[in-house]
Chains A and B, each alone.
Chain A
Amino acid sequence: MMASPHARPRLAVGLWLALALPPARHALEATMTLHMLVQIPLLALAGWWLAPCLPARARESLDAWNHRGISGLLLASLAAMVWMLPRAIDAALEEPWVAIAKFVGVPLLIGLPLALSWPRTGFVVRGVFLLEVVATAFRLSRLYLLAPARLCSNYLASDQQRLGQTLLGIGVATSLWIAWRLVWGRSGLEAARTGAESGGRAAQGDAAAPPAGARARLHGSGQGA
């Protein structure tokens, strides 16, 4: 948003390196909550920031297979499911190759596809996806709060409880945010429409279309609009 398109990939690499360096790695893997709710989401963010690196042509050919962002969201969801397995979390601490799979796979299979897909996604798919995120937060929270035993051999039961509570908080906060957007969030669309009426062409079509600048860039190297 704020950063220029060229700064993003640099930020992505910087963030990834910072996360991979031993001090940050050990600090974030010290508790189950930090591991699952901070380290993995930040790795995904690094992948999201990588998206502007893709050459326009590669991006266009990917887009042809990613109508309304559906296959990208599917890929990100399935990859995220792998990293919700307590077994995968344990293995990432014990097996070097699983740790590498996490550091490579989370940015490239979760963050990057989300960045390529989310702006192309329509209202209904976004709604379904967000509700599924909320439902997953509640489901996992219930699992961690009610599990009679520790699910990760490498983390304490108290840590598992804290993760459950945090996920409950995230589920509640996200639901409230969605509800708020549904009730009062029209102002965004209306603002866009007013903008379109007052001369700008950027907001025409669906609200998820890339901004005019990005569109110009996309078409710049091609045949032109």
Chain B
Amino acid sequence: MPALRTLLASLLILAAGLATLAGATDGFRAFTAEAARRLEVSEHPRALPAASLETAGGQAIDLASLRGRWLLVEFIFTRCTTYCSVQGRDLARLQDRLARPIADGQVALLSISFDPAHDGPPELAAYLRHAGSHGAGWIAARPASAPDLETLLHAFGVTVIPDGIGGYVHNAAISVVDPRGRLVAIMDWDAPAVAEQYVLRRLPR
């Protein structure tokens, strides 16, 4: 009798346990927070909230004012000396390869600093220069206020942590925002070609 009851209890526990694990991993598809964020966004595009930015040119803009075109967004801090230089060069390459849709106003690149205390307009301008930007269609900006920074990090699902040696580490990626202002995809920061293809396939011909 205890053996039968134990079998029954075990089957119930197994079913509940597997259901919990499936729920906790989106059906065994996302085992990390980063994978979950990407899956979430691709299945449920997220409308971006209002947030104010200050550009490298010192201009105040709202995130919503960039609607009407595809945005490729990356988060940066300009003091970064490691992968960020690669990230910057990758965006410069995207600027070249997407030159035509950028010129047509269909695509823009946006680098947002999560270190606004240090990254003022001069630092952001220097970042664009060092990365190799040639002006058109690539905006570098910092959140206008601390709440704007929080809003942006939360909306894009970016987690920033101190790296223990004075800088930061974050879940770097290229985020794609569609012309309606919705976050629709998050891609590996070191595979810009994927983001390029994603946008090119969706542009009207």
Contact = CB atoms under 8 A, between A and B. Distances in A.
Interface of A: 63-68, 70-71, 74-75, 78-79, 81-82, 85-88, 90-91, 94, 149-158
A219 B117 CA distance: 69
Contacts, number: 87
B10 A71 contact: yes
B9 interface: yes
B20 interface: yes
A131 to B, nearest CB: 19
B21 A86 contact: no
At the interface, is chain B mostly helix, strand, loop or mixed? helix
A64 B5 contact: yes
Contacts of B9: 65-66, 71
Nearest to B162: A156
29 contacts: A63-B2, A65-B8, A65-B9, A66-B9, A67-B2, A67-B5, A71-B10, A74-B13, A74-B17, A78-B18, A78-B20, A86-B32, A87-B24, A87-B30, A87-B31, A90-B159, A91-B33, A94-B33, A150-B169, A150-B171, A152-B32, A153-B32, A153-B33, A153-B161, A153-B171, A155-B161, A156-B161, A157-B169, A158-B164
At the interface, is chain A mostly helix, strand, loop or mixed? helix
A79 B169 CA distance: 31
Contact of B5 (A65, A86, A94, A153): A65
Contacts of A64: 1-2, 5
B32 A151 contact: yes
